[in-house]
Chains A and B, each alone.
Chain A
């Protein structure tokens, strides 16, 4: 049976609290249903701050100042967007490490509307240096990314989404996986975009790289695999977020980039995540249309 990514985050965090006395969890009501037992067992290391997101992030940073390894969690919209200055100053400026785990992603909560959607989270974090950004496309990758992040000492963001690929890959920050080799363009599929990408390009002579950790961006693999100097980015958040990384990797190579992702315009629609994927051209049909158009141009 396929695991749910968010429940996997909670179960893994609960295990890590058990395994490592330096791990602390700070959350703000959201996902509390998963943490009752952990809170009962470790009241000093599991803190629900209530609906207080500015406090959430800085409490995490304060824990890190004492040498603990904080896991800081709420919906991505409140974690990264609402409390962005706390991320910038609490973690980067204080120069402490921590693991931020945002759920909800771009439109997991399609019916919730704009307030609960954060397509800009990765782009916003990307204005800061030294964040390892994980975009797991499978529950198993959530567990691997979280374990790797907590075992380290740096600054990690784990973007948990309910959208999953059929198969999981090992989580290897700094190295993308070559899933398919072709002679033509290279498609970089990020996180849960892999399955729709593979379906979209099934009969096209392109390479497909899979990125479940998107920062650091593996420009070296991109260069190594590059056939025709055409690159298609397919990201499950704001379109164009990683374009600069492609340009940096190919600074000495004349190239073209097609950047697919969530559009800037507010849809003001509800429905299901699949509706939003289609609206942003991020289902297999939309991706195929965009890629074939780009390659023919």
Chain B
């Protein structure tokens, strides 16, 4: 399918595929498809919006929608492409992204882009905001999930650790953190992210961040096993090393 065909198909509300997202990303990057495929967050985002999250263009203002918070706001092309592919905003917005008149910047702005839950860019804010969001939903008796995507290097920010401890202490079962781990953290240690969350009382799993069926299984809402305490969960999605 050519890019133009993909745009037409999506704008007509026809079925669209994961492969279409490459074309949409190429509109922004001007690069070949293999460049889009290398984006670390692409597969996690696709699986979340394609088959996990209970949110759609028609429900972006519903109180009981699932929330997805992109904390790692850098490199949002995959995020924009997936939102456009799912109809949250017109694909025509992609071509002139980051221009003065475009609502799509190098970091997303929730006041400008339908479907974007938080404005991000500065690291270490999304997870604390997600904790507050999950607390607010719980206080209102809403059963929605809150899924927040952070990068492995973003966990360098100490603000995350304040949030990790509180979320476990107050049993925030509706909260899921997805760490996209491309080993870009300075002083990172393999395996430590899962260990750190688990030590803090979270349910923690690591998964191949490119395998859609494994991602789907890991990201689908967990139901507690008998006797298991209520606790937040983390999915560490391992992808290729950034600097390799």
Whether B162 lies near A66 (C-beta < 8 A) is no
Complex: how many Å from CA A63 to CA B130?
9
User: B119 near A: Cβ within 8 Å?
Assistant: yes
Q: A54-B158, A58-B132 are in contact. Are A65 and B118 (CB under 8 A)?
A: yes
User: B111 near A: Cβ within 8 Å?
Assistant: yes
Q: A59-B135, A62-B129 are in contact. Are A49 and B166 (CB under 8 A)?
A: yes
- Name A65's contact: one of B132, B138, B170 (CB within 8 Å): B132
- Name A85's contact: one of B122, B138, B139, B166 (CB within 8 Å): B122
User: A60 near B: Cβ within 8 Å?
Assistant: yes
Q: Mark B133-157, 1 if CB is under 8 A from A, else 0.
A: 1111111101000000000000000
Complex: how many Å from CA A206 to CA B42?
67
Q: A50-B166, A59-B132, A65-B118 are in contact. Are A90 and B125 (CB under 8 A)?
A: yes
Whether A47 lies near B135 (C-beta < 8 A) is yes
Complex: how many Å from CA A62 to CA B71?
13
- Name A66's contact: one of B119, B122, B128, B133 (CB within 8 Å): B133
Q: Mark B103-128, 1 if CB is under 8 A from A, else 0.
A: 00000011100000111001011001
Complex: how many Å from CA A54 to CA B158?
9
- Name B136's contact: one of A67, A86, A95 (CB within 8 Å): A67
Whether B119 lies near A62 (C-beta < 8 A) is no
Residues from chain A with a CB closer than 8 A to the CB of B138 are 44
Q: How far is the CB of A50 from chain B (nearest CB, A)?
A: 7
Complex: how many Å from CA A66 to CA B136?
6
A-B contact count (CB 8 A): 100
Q: A49-B162, A68-B139 are in contact. Are A61 and B111 (CB under 8 A)?
A: no
Find residues 23-64 in chain A having any chain B CB closer than 8 Å to their own CB. 24, 26, 44-45, 47, 49-50, 52, 54-55, 58-64
Q: How large is the interface on A (under 10, 10 to 19, 20 to 34, 35 or more residues)?
A: 20 to 34
User: B218 near A: Cβ within 8 Å?
Assistant: no
User: B214 near A: Cβ within 8 Å?
Assistant: no
Whether B162 lies near A54 (C-beta < 8 A) is yes
- Name A60's contact: one of B132, B142, B166, B170 (CB within 8 Å): B132
Residues from chain A with a CB closer than 8 A to the CB of B110 are 94-95
Residues from chain B with a CB closer than 8 A to the CB of A64 are 132, 136
Complex: how many Å from CA A68 to CA B135?
10
Whether A89 lies near B122 (C-beta < 8 A) is yes
Q: How far is the CB of B142 from chain A (nearest CB, A)?
A: 8
Complex: how many Å from CA A93 to CA B129?
12
Q: Number of residues in B with C-beta < 8 Å to the partner?
A: 31
- Name B131's contact: one of A24, A55, A67, A95 (CB within 8 Å): A55
Q: Mark A255-268, 1 if CB is under 8 A from B, else 0.
A: 00000000000000
Complex: how many Å from CA A94 to CA B112?
11
Whether A55 lies near B118 (C-beta < 8 A) is no
Find residues 85-108 in chain A having any chain B CB closer than 8 Å to their own CB. 85-86, 89-90, 93-95
Find residues 55-84 in chain A having any chain B CB closer than 8 Å to their own CB. 55, 58-68, 70
Complex: how many Å from CA A288 to CA B163?
50
Whether B119 lies near A65 (C-beta < 8 A) is no
Whether B162 lies near A55 (C-beta < 8 A) is yes
User: B56 near A: Cβ within 8 Å?
Assistant: no
Complex: how many Å from CA A70 to CA B136?
10
User: B98 near A: Cβ within 8 Å?
Assistant: no
Q: A44-B138, A62-B132, A95-B111 are in contact. Are A52 and B125 (CB under 8 A)?
A: no
Whether A59 lies near B131 (C-beta < 8 A) is yes
Whether B166 lies near A62 (C-beta < 8 A) is no
Q: How far is the CB of A46 from chain B (nearest CB, A)?
A: 10
Whether A94 lies near B119 (C-beta < 8 A) is yes
Whether A52 lies near B166 (C-beta < 8 A) is yes
Residues from chain A with a CB closer than 8 A to the CB of B117 are 65
- 7 additional A-B pairs beyond A47-B135, A50-B165, A85-B125, beta carbons within 8 Å, are A47-B170, A54-B159, A59-B129, A62-B130, A62-B131, A62-B135, A94-B118
Q: Which residues of B contact A (CB under 8 A)?
A: 63, 109-111, 117-119, 122, 124-125, 128-140, 142, 158-159, 162-163, 165-166, 170
Q: Which residues of A contact B (CB under 8 A)?
A: 24, 26, 44-45, 47, 49-50, 52, 54-55, 58-68, 70, 85-86, 89-90, 93-95
| Closest CB pairs A-B (n = 5) | A62-B132, A66-B136, A58-B128, A59-B132, A52-B162
